[in-house]
Copies of this chain bind each other. A is one copy, B any other.
Amino acid sequence: MAKTTVPCNFSWLSKHRSLLFGAAIILVLILCALFFLSGSRSSAARSAKSVSASDGVTSQNCSIRVDDVDLEFDPPNSTFYDDPSLSYSLNKPIQNWDEKRREWLQNHPSFAAGARDRVLLLTGSQPSPCKNSNGDHLMLRSFKNKVDYCRIHGCDVFYSNTFLHPKMRSYWAKLPLVRAAMVAHPEAEWIWWVDSDAVFTDMEFKLPLRRYNDHNLVVHGWAHLIYRKRSWVGVNAGVFMIRNCQWAMDFIQVWANMGPQSPDFKKWGRIQKATFPDKMFPESDDQSALIYLMLKEKEKWTDKIYVEGEYYFQGYWLDVVGTLDNVTASYVEIEEGVRMLRRRHAEKEAESYAALRETYLSDAGYGRGSWRRPFITHFTGCQPCNGEHNPAYKGEFCWVGMERALNFADNQVLRRYGFVHPHLQESSSVSALPFDVPA
């Protein structure tokens, strides 16, 4: 091939025009990348509108929002909310809920990010004052306990004090509530019902959500009690976590069909009494109904139901309350040896210190017999609101136990405010926590 010679007498600019062209491309592409990436983060700036020139107060003059979900964004495109046939009630089942939720998330991208781990905690009590004289006080403290837990871990809490269905009261009241909350909170992947008599006693423990990737309902219990003993306490329905999905919509429908609003309510009571040898009372209850479905419609439901028995997803209070002093002592012993665990820090840094502490809890075990803080302590049978506790318990044991558990939990919270209850039995008394305690 003949060589082609080209005269090469360029000026500097001309000589380097390729490089300059490349540099110009650099600049444009960086600007594009910056614009793209900063898109969602600028939402905080977008929502803080300019102050009105007058002293006039407008609701646009601020933003309390501190995270990156956009609370002021709802695009006009139609979603499931615009369907007149949509209902928040149990009596009108929803279809294609997975697709509807997915579409809503696509329309609200700031909520799609993080959706997988978003949990809404539901709890509540009756609309009228408790019959038990200390009942509402215990409800109040228990509610505070849940709000503390969720403030630390970033979950939302909804407290219900109404019966969404006039016939579904007491332990049945949660099903219409879960159903309504699923629709009200399409951004939440999990709805976590926690009874008002269940107390968080490990403020640091985080739900191991990945464990439940392939399941849609999590309850605490034991397979042998369900399938071999046919015990009505094979699971505890006072604490459960249900995925916000079509399976759950269908399951809740079937579950609730054994409830007091059903014309077959009395029949279900008889069937449950016949099915569970240890069920003493005649009415159909939600817990027996749940286990009944697991027994009789096993193929239909149980592959998606995780019966958690490995840790205190909820722990029976009589197993737990007596261990609290020893648990405290064990944790103190660890902290005496690990300076970082004694380090004061902001409440918002709690998860960081929880992760560090976890590295020292590998021998603690979980559940019964362990020295790990019990995740949730459940005062089943205590009935703090109406006071009609299981006659096998002395009422006083219940209230004393609840107070101890609440203060045990409160100490984990108060610590980051610089204080502690020196005695678990004395709610009124706190002391300032010295620096570097318990060194």
Contacts and interface: CB of A to CB of B under 8 A. Distances in A.
Interface of A: 3-9, 16-23, 25-26, 29-30, 33-34, 37-38, 41, 44, 47-48, 50-51, 55, 57-69, 71-74, 81-82, 84, 86-89, 104, 108, 111, 113-115, 117-119, 125, 127-130, 133-137, 139-141, 143-144, 147-148, 151-159, 161-164, 166, 180-181, 183-187, 204-211, 213, 310-311, 343-355, 358, 366, 410, 414, 416-419, 421, 427-430, 432, 435-436
Contacts of A38: 37
A414 B38 CA distance: 35
Contacts of A5: 5, 7-9
A62 B204 CA distance: 13
Contacts of A16: 18
A232 to B, nearest CB: 26
Given A72-B355, A127-B427, 10 more contacts: A22-B26, A61-B208, A62-B210, A67-B68, A71-B352, A104-B346, A136-B137, A162-B410, A164-B417, A164-B430
Given A26-B26, A55-B310, A184-B416, A118 B66 contact: yes
A360 to B, nearest CB: 12
Contacts of A104: 346
Given A71-B351, A432-B88, A206 B62 contact: yes
A185 B347 CA distance: 6
Contacts of A127: 427-428
Given A208-B59, A209-B63, A72 B19 contact: no
30 contacts: A18-B22, A22-B23, A26-B26, A29-B29, A33-B37, A37-B38, A47-B351, A59-B204, A61-B208, A61-B209, A62-B207, A64-B118, A64-B153, A67-B114, A69-B348, A71-B154, A74-B353, A84-B435, A86-B344, A86-B435, A87-B432, A111-B348, A144-B161, A162-B410, A163-B428, A180-B417, A183-B418, A185-B346, A186-B346, A187-B346
Contact of A33 (B30, B64, B358): B30
Given A21-B19, A86-B344, A181-B417, A430 B162 contact: yes
